[in-house]
A and B are shown apart, each in its own frame.
Chain A
Amino acid sequence: MKKLYALLGILLIGGYAWADWTGHELQRPRRGYAPQSIRGSQSGARSFWYTGYHGGK
């Protein structure tokens, strides 16, 4: 049991070190491709990805 746990622990630490070194995050962010035109809407209110947040009390 001790050996198995030690092996698992070393694998875990190795995985942690590798993930942190290569900049991996646990959360999966939303990904996609932005339309070329968005860079032309510098001052506008046009949202291509508006999720409709209605926060507040």
Chain B
Amino acid sequence: MTVANCPACAAPIEFAIGSSAVVVCGYCRSVVARSDRGVESFGKVAALVDTGSPLGTGMRGSYRNSAFSITGRTQMRHEAGGVWDEWYAAFDDGRWGWLAEAQGRYYVTFQTGAQVPEYEQLQLGARLAEVDGLMVSELGSASLASAEGELPWKPLPGESYRYADLTGGEQKFASIDFSETPPLVFKGYQVTLSELGIDAGAARTRGADLVQLNCSNCGGPLDLRAPDRSERIICPNCGSAFDVSAGKLQFFKLLKQKKVEPVIALGITGTIDGTAYVIAGFMQRSVKFDMTYYWTEYLLFHAEKGFRWLVHSDDHWSFVEPIAPGEVFDAAPLGVAKSVGWKGQSFRLFQEATARVTYVIGEFYWRVTVGEAVNTVDYVAPPFGLSKEVTGGKAPEIAWSYARYMQPEEVETAFTLKERLPRPSMVGPMQPYTGPKLGKTWLFLLVLLIAAAVLLAVTRPNRLILDQSFDLAPPSWSAATPAPAPPSADAPTNARIFLTEPFELNGNQNIRIDGRTGLQNDWLYVSGDLVEERTNALTGFEMEFEYYSGIDGGERWSEGSRDETAFLSAPPKGRYVLRVEAQWNPQAKATPDLHMTVREGVFRWSHFILALLALSVIPLLAMIRQVSFESQRWKESAHSPFGNFESVEDDDE
């Protein structure tokens, strides 16, 4: 430990960490460095802005089993306004770590020796192989606003430098500092306070106090719910916009905007996913295609978790939270990819547009104003969605957010609303289909049905009982076989009746009878009966053979069939004969032939097909319903898989 006196005010200063380069005098805010000649002042820094951070110098924590002490901090001012803290942690193992804090998120980084391109060569959305493939999510410049405590480098008051922030999967984070050549690269992770061994509850409470101010234009009340985080507040009464700095207001301008009444009032607290958020701001945005579409967004604030969004569009609600851009697999970071991936889930492109702010009241963490425009690309994987916003200008940035669809009932419960919210009449982009999804159950039953069919097919005996040809030609009578008594006068002459030899049936198995004839351009009708010898009980069947063929216009044609099949339900076990009565065309040039086979216990494909159809009816109806639902969902998208995007102009025509 080195103890000295501040060269500016002579107050005692202390270098507690051997490797620290400077100490900011706690009395006069001089930046004091130690050198061979003693201590030296490098000018003064401005007073610290109260950011309400739960961290403070002197606090101890641990990161990945390494204990550290917070020895100092710098306050950096973004070129677009706003201040963030960077805390410097001296680890017990001799390392320095940087603990950056912004919008309620914390990042631990350590300096590495990675070689990276110059600032001008970096492109937003590019992934740097030199930095573990992390994606450039933000490019900008910042200036040193203030500092305190012991620091490992010499901060020069007012000094500004360019930086690039990179993000990636698994909470990876990196920052490149272009204040030196070659640029300094810091790599690490986004972390939570608990991962740093810091008890958020015991830490200094931030943003808990409501700051009540008055609008200097209309005198109406202005409540600052996040005074340390807000950059702008817009008076709900008169639309006057103020810049917020350390809880103080500076008039910006009077916004000309058409009043929009929020469904949920500012200042109301609602609990979503176990966290109580207060509604800090409200805005209406719009996109213009063939007509202008409007929706509203509520800015939610929680002291520890920061800002979230509640989006309300066409009576659909969604809860939106920011995610690291580098976590999203996006083939076109600055363009529009057909689909993107996040945490193993694929999201499909729904629409891209330029969203404009058309109305805004309450407080915001950036300097929002009416007319502000940003390019947005929305992707959906119901009930979730991803949204990309690409900001250009001096500080280009890619921002991704993750949305979860909320049923109106959930919003009513979350904010304990007394009035029932209107229910949506159209299908929303992220609205989940809540009808039955029977695909998996159908597949399971299909497997069961096939298993049953295979079992039946292999166990059916398919036993051949009879295989017989019938000669339909008139019999030739002889002495040995005398003609029977003449038939009745009205009996047809083009018909014959046969009775087969008796055969045994095992019973409880179906019967298949196949008939075949070689007739040509003619017909043959067979009426058959399976007759039980003992009781004369019969089961009948019929077969109609017709076969015609020829050549017409040089093309061969045929119709009808020479084969017929009949099935009979299982007859009881017993002894049977087959009675066959055949009738044919009396003008036939030749007597047709007939061959028949009888089988017992055959597998029935048609029964399997019927069972399959019956099994598929309900899933088919459910699928039609779901397709109709999805078709409605994509009606408003120019990227519909159904290809049915219709503009309103088309509708009007």
Residues of A within 8 A of B (CB): 1-2, 5-6, 8-10, 12-13, 16-17, 19-27, 29-36, 38-39, 41-47, 49-51, 53, 55-57
Contact = CB atoms under 8 A, between A and B. Distances in A.
Given A2-B438, A29-B541, A24 B529 contact: no
Contacts of B546: 55-57
Interface of B: 436-438, 441-442, 444-445, 448-449, 452, 455-456, 475, 483-485, 487-488, 491-493, 495-499, 508-511, 522-523, 525, 527, 529, 531, 535-542, 544, 546, 548, 567-570, 577, 579, 581, 583, 585, 601, 603-604, 607-608, 610-611, 614-615, 618-619
A39 B615 contact: no
A56 to B, nearest CB: 4
B499 A36 contact: no
Contact of B441 (A9, A46, A50): A9
Looking at B509, B539, B569, B614, the one whose CB has the most chain A CB atoms below 10 A away is B569
Contacts of B511: 23
Contacts, number: 156
A45 B607 contact: no
A57 to B, nearest CB: 6
Nearest to A30: B540
Given A42-B497, A51-B527, A56-B523, A23 B438 contact: no
B438 A16 contact: no
B579 A17 contact: no
Contact of B544 (A19, A49, A53): A53
Contact of A49 (B522, B540, B585, B608): B540
Contact of B523 (A1, A2, A38, A55): A55
B548 to A, nearest CB: 6
B50 to A, nearest CB: 56
A50 B496 CA distance: 11
A31 B546 CA distance: 26
Contacts of B493: 45
A32 B525 contact: no
B612 to A, nearest CB: 9
Nearest to A56: B523
B615 A34 contact: no
Given A23-B601, A34-B538, A45-B496, 18 more contacts: A1-B438, A2-B437, A6-B445, A20-B603, A25-B510, A25-B569, A31-B537, A31-B540, A35-B536, A38-B497, A38-B499, A39-B499, A44-B497, A45-B495, A46-B491, A49-B581, A55-B544, A56-B522
B569 A46 contact: no
Contacts of A26: 607, 610
A47 B497 contact: yes
Contacts of B497: 38, 41-47
A30 B239 CA distance: 89
Contacts of A44: 484-485, 487, 491, 497
A20 to B, nearest CB: 5
B579 A34 contact: yes
Given A6-B445, A55-B525, A22 B618 contact: no
Contacts of B542: 51
Contacts of A50: 492, 495, 527, 581, 583
Nearest to B493: A45
Contacts of A2: 436-438, 441
Contacts of A25: 510, 567-569, 604
B607 A10 contact: no
Nearest to B524: A55
A38 B579 contact: yes
A27 B539 CA distance: 12
B580 to A, nearest CB: 11
A14 B615 CA distance: 12
26 contacts: A1-B438, A5-B436, A5-B618, A5-B619, A6-B444, A10-B445, A16-B449, A22-B570, A23-B508, A30-B540, A31-B537, A32-B540, A33-B535, A33-B537, A33-B538, A34-B536, A39-B577, A41-B484, A41-B497, A42-B484, A43-B484, A43-B497, A46-B487, A47-B497, A50-B492, A56-B523
Contacts of B522: 56
B583 A53 contact: yes
Contacts of A1: 436, 438
B513 to A, nearest CB: 11
Given A5-B618, A43-B484, A13 B448 contact: yes
A11 to B, nearest CB: 11
Contact of A27 (B441, B567, B608): B567
B577 to A, nearest CB: 8
A14 to B, nearest CB: 8
Looking at A1, A9, A26, the one whose CB has the most chain B CB atoms below 10 A away is A9
A8 B621 CA distance: 15
B541 A45 contact: no
A43 B474 CA distance: 9
Contacts of A8: 618
Contacts of A42: 484, 497-499
Given A33-B536, A43-B484, A24 B436 contact: no
Contact of B581 (A19, A27, A47, A56): A47
B445 A9 contact: yes
Contacts of B495: 45, 47, 50
A45 B445 contact: no
A13 to B, nearest CB: 5
Contacts of B496: 43, 45
A20 B604 contact: yes
Nearest to B533: A39
